[in-house]
Structure 1
């Protein structure tokens, strides 16, 4: 195979390699009559990506003597080809033309950069023959289809930290939301919960066949969104119920890009002894699914059980936790009729000691300190204590 790229096509080709580097550690080159396909799959077979560049993308595209059989599929290590396209800004400024040749007898892939001022950089990379991989996924059978500009999805994803591993996509007839996902074993006090929502009108195409929540890896998606956003291309999303793969695709006249990710299986949809479903890659397929750890009923109802009946819990507008149950019990106790009568017949200093001291003088039980005494209240309390103390 022999192909030549010029101008912005070199940068676009390098951008595709950057996106594929987020998927797996190997890059498969698959020359075909309909174009050059770049594929990658991760070691767990839970993520698969393919970029197909049509012959019109290249200034020159020639399969050589094996054009009819299309048997030249070679596999390269990602760490050997990625450094060649590491700095895309430098490539855009200095590289005028790039030529890629696959030499079958020598098991070499030759990549040459023809730069300005007559400089030529030649790289020979060893490869091994491999079968062409293809994800077995029928996107036309998915009940839910979304299509939106890459900028819209990119602005939603950018609010999640780089360290975020998985996110959950939820769809209803009224909204589409993305939120971060954490397993049940994590320390929830150290977690920042983030959720972004969009109205269906924000999408170019919105089709919902079934309401669903799917959880998938975010790292693999970032690469495709970055590629699509740099070329102002819309992104289509095809998915169904939890446990089934989700497909993100980009399509243009001269290129096609597809990322297929496995999703976590909903714990309610399978029995306790049923194994987790996985994604498959046939000499062309990927899969991954894991169990979702459900919350225990005791944890979800612990706050409600500590609050007396008839009291309403109102969440903070900033998303902070609900008020402490001990404080709610105290306020509820102060509102009881018999306590109101006691308060009317009790000196102000006694009420002050109940509200502003750490311990009640009668029961000795610990109570939360709601505020600090003012100087005047401290002076009044000292006077009362002096009056009560026996004279010498």
Structure 2
């Protein structure tokens, strides 16, 4: 493999490697005949990220076709992420570097990165040690799902601002007319310090909204945050392709020269609660949870029974307890002025009296501390109101000046 990356595309490669490092610790490189693919997996194998850099992404892309066959359709190698990250540290690398050249042979145990700097024609060569070669077989197709949603990166970023940064998971309840986004699952236990948020999105707010099957999907928020951060840097749209809860979900970002896929494992949060609800719609499932013998919290029942679209402040009609309290306050106000109040003429300087009418003993002040006594002894002259010359003693000689 021999490819040259121009300076204009170095920013894309740098952002891609930093995004991959947030997901996994190892990086897989697959050099196909028409593209270079960067792949990483998390430890639990629930998130897979793939960056497809097409041959048009490089100014020069060469792969030895003799090493490609039916059994091995790509030249593969594996490298640890911590070894690769220091090469792409720093801001504005695209302004400092003229190009980056990658060299790798299938029988070699190193991969070579040559960086050509614009100033002083400096060529820096990095030989990175490779790990034991492994090949990945990911047969999942990113566009295999029957449901598709498309929106801009800024739209999804505004959606995430509605939720806390401490939220780990998110739930999409998808119908043919809208999407309900929650940071909690109806019926699940909720911690005391958690903030429950819910956002209703109509289909008109998306650039593309094709739903063939209603479902509910719960997945991790970390890959979504990483995808939005990468897409915002290049003003890319984010497409969400999925089938049902329990099957993988794909976040897709496309550019004429590269394509990004975030494959995320999902689950249906309501499938385990009642299996007979598989044929009913998502709103019907949630309504059934509220009326059947399932351990729902008081907050869940209030959230399900609440009309979020026509929500108003508490009034006497929808909050009888609040109305009763306001009524009692009004009655107390009306009572003022009707009753007779006794007046007490207190003396200007009241004297404390005991039960028998005698003067109460006044408590003596607290004694001074030894430190206060010592300070008055040393600085006693400072506490005197006046100062006289006689304190110096007898004057032995007058002043020599005539004045």
| TM > 0.5 fold call | yes
- C-alpha separation between the residues in 2 aligned to 1:45 and 1:303? 32
Partners of 1:104 and 1:204 in 2: how far apart? 44
Distance 1:319 1:220 in 2: 36
**How far apart are 1:329 and its partner, in Å?**
5.4
Q: CA deviation at 1:108?
A: 0.9
Tell me, in whole angstroms, the C-alpha distance in 2 between the residues paired with 1:166 and 1:319. Answer: 29
Number of aligned residue pairs: give it.
319
Which whole-Å deviations, capped at 9, do the CAs of 1:282-330 have from their partners, x for residues lacking one? Answer: xxxxxxxxxxxx998455459989xxxxxx988899999x89xxx9558
User: How far apart are residue 200 of structure 1 and its match?
Assistant: 1.7
Q: Partners of 2:75 and 2:169 in 1: how far apart? A: 36
Q: Is the 8 A contact 1:72 1:129 kept in 2?
A: no
The counterpart of 1:80, out of the listed 78, 83, 86, is 83
In 2, the alpha carbon distance for the partners of 1:102 and 1:385 equals 101
1:179-219 Cα distance to aligned partner (Å, 9 max, x none): 3237944423x222333343322323211112222111111
C-alpha distance in structure 2 between counterparts of 1:303 and 1:262, whole Å = 26
Cα gap change, 1:334 to 1:25, in 2 (>3 Å)? closer
- Aligned residue for 1:155, secondary structure, equals helix
Does 1:383 find its partner at 2:385? no
Task: Tell me: CA distance 1:331–1:146, structure 2 relative to 1, closer, same or farther (3 Å).
Answer: closer
- Stretch of structure 1 that moved more, 263-272 or 9-18: 263-272
Label 1:299 to 1:202 Cα distance change in 2 as closer, same or farther (>3 A).
closer
Give the structure 2 partner of residue 22 of structure 1: 22
Q: Which of 97, 100, 103 is the equivalent residue of 1:98?
A: 100
Tell me how far apart the structure 2 counterparts of residues 302 and 55 of structure 1 sit (CA, whole Å): 54
In the TM superposition, what whole-angstrom CA distance separates every residue of 1:205-235 from its partner, at most 9, and x where no partner exists?
A: 2111122221111111222222233223322
- CA contact under 8 A between 2:76 and 2:106: conserved in structure 1? no
TM-score, length of structure 1 as denominator length: 0.68
Which structure has more relative contact order (CA 8 Å, sep 6+)? It is 1
1:48–1:135 contact (8 Å) kept in structure 2: no
Q: Note if 1:121 corresponds to 2:107.
A: no
Give structure 1 stretches of 5+ with no counterpart.
Answer: 273-293, 306-311, 336-342, 353-372, 387-392
Rg comparison, structure with higher value: 2
Give the secondary structure class of the aligned counterpart of 2:271. Answer: helix
1:187 aligned to 2:145?
no
Q: Secondary structure at the match of 1:210?
A: coil
CA distance in 2 between counterparts of 1:55 and 1:49 reads: 19
Distance 1:302 1:253 in 2: 48
Output the aligned Cα RMSD: 3.9
For residues 53-202 of structure 1, what are the structure 2 equivalents within 5 Å? 53-64=53-64, 66-69=66-69, 70=73, 72-87=75-90, 89-117=91-119, 118-181=121-184, 184-188=188-192, 190-202=193-205
> In structure 2, the residue corresponding to 1:268 is in which secondary structure?
coil
Tell me the secondary structure at the aligned position of residue 243 of structure 1.
Answer: coil
- 1:133 partner SS: coil
Cα deviation for residue 147 of structure 1 reads: 1.9
Distance across 2 between alignment mates of 1:334 and 1:158: 37
1:22-41 counterparts in 2 under 5 A? 22-41=22-41
Q: What is the CA–CA distance in structure 1 between the aligned matches of 2:213 and 2:182, rounded to whole Å?
A: 19
